[in-house]
Amino acid sequence: MKAYNLYGVNDLRYENVQMPELPSGWALVKVGACGICSSDIPRIYKNGTYHFPTVVGHEFSGVVEKTANAADSHWVGKRVAVFPLIPCKKCEQCKNKHYEMCSDYNYLGSRCDGGFSEYVAVPVWNLIELGDSISYEEGALFEPLAVALHCVNQAQLRGGETVAVIGSGAIAFAVGQWAKIKGAAQVSIVARSKNKEFIAERTGLEFVTGENIEGKFYDVVVEAVGTQESLISAIEHARAGGKIVAMGNPAGDMNLPQAVYWKILRKQLTVIGTWNSFYDGANMSDWIEVRDALINKTIDAKSLITHYFNKDNVVDGLELMKNHKAPYCKVMTVWEDKTK
């Protein structure tokens, strides 16, 4: 089978590799689509991964080809999305079903082989059935949609709030959509420039640039960039008694000026962290809620996709994002010719 194997920093090879082995309790998934996450860019071109070689990609969907155990054979032929985090199920957090905070997890696409491949081995527990109405491309968006939903759930919206999302990546726009679904009265996507305003128009969200929110304050501010500048902006524009949800992966150390830190105290702000998404197999979770929203068409996942690449041209998608060749939101790679 063919896969994109990362041998070292900036050493990604599209090559023939062995079919993955299936441990007990695992399934073989033929990949239908795999999204490129912004975290894949530094993983491939700057920071590397946990070991080499590794097949990257963690936002993927496909169809189950076979299972290691006969007891799981009912999964064969089912179209699925895949929760990429493989929890240890032994630590304190796992025992409390907070699997996203597992202290000893594995992860498809960074700690073990992932979705930029024709076939992937995954635990059966990590499979979520798509049904017939959800496309593979939408299935590959389950992970970012669930991460965005988890963020909004952390904010515990009651309805009627004003929400600002600082950032213009795919998850930021997904957060904006979920905030509206959860009852926010106004949602603003705050970006540095207007080059992604067309995505806001697709998703029905207000779009403002940084200079246009001066003097404005919001009940909830989501920091979805991961820079010191954006964190300071979140603190500045949260209203007194408001909430900040910190979501962006940090690009480096965060150093707050004294005057900004004082605002956390004097405005009595609630600062909330969010990480990954809540998943619990077949039980109700962020992932089940994502599936329900896609089936009921209460969220528009495809509006987030701006570029498609086939399986032989994944590097073109990676380089588009790395070099910012064009404004993009979600870059999707299609591995199955018969995706719906």
Report the pLDDT averaged over residues 147-153. 98
Terminal Cα-to-Cα distance of the chain (whole angstroms)? 23
Residue that is written with structure tokens 């305003």 in the block: 197
- Calpha distance 29→47 (Å, rounded): 28
Q: Provide the pLDDT confidence category of residue 137 given band limits of 50, 70 and 90.
A: very high
The answer, yes or no, to whether residue 10 has pLDDT greater than 90, is: yes
pTM: 0.97
pLDDT in tens, 291-328: 999 999 999 999 999 999 999 999 999 999 999 999 99
pLDDT greater than 60 at residue 340: no
Identify the pLDDT of residue 203. 86
Residue type (1 letter), 88: C
Give residue 251's pLDDT. Answer: 86
Instruction: Place 339 in a pLDDT band, splitting at 50, 70 and 90.
Output: very low
Dump pLDDT digits (tens) for 225-249. Answer: 999 999 999 999 999 999 999 999 9
Question: Taking 50 as the threshold, does the pLDDT of residue 23 lie above it?
Answer: yes
Instruction: Decide if pLDDT at 125 tops 70.
Output: yes
- For the chain, give the mean pLDDT: 96
For residues 12-38, give the mean pLDDT: 98
- Say what the pLDDT of residue 336 is: 80
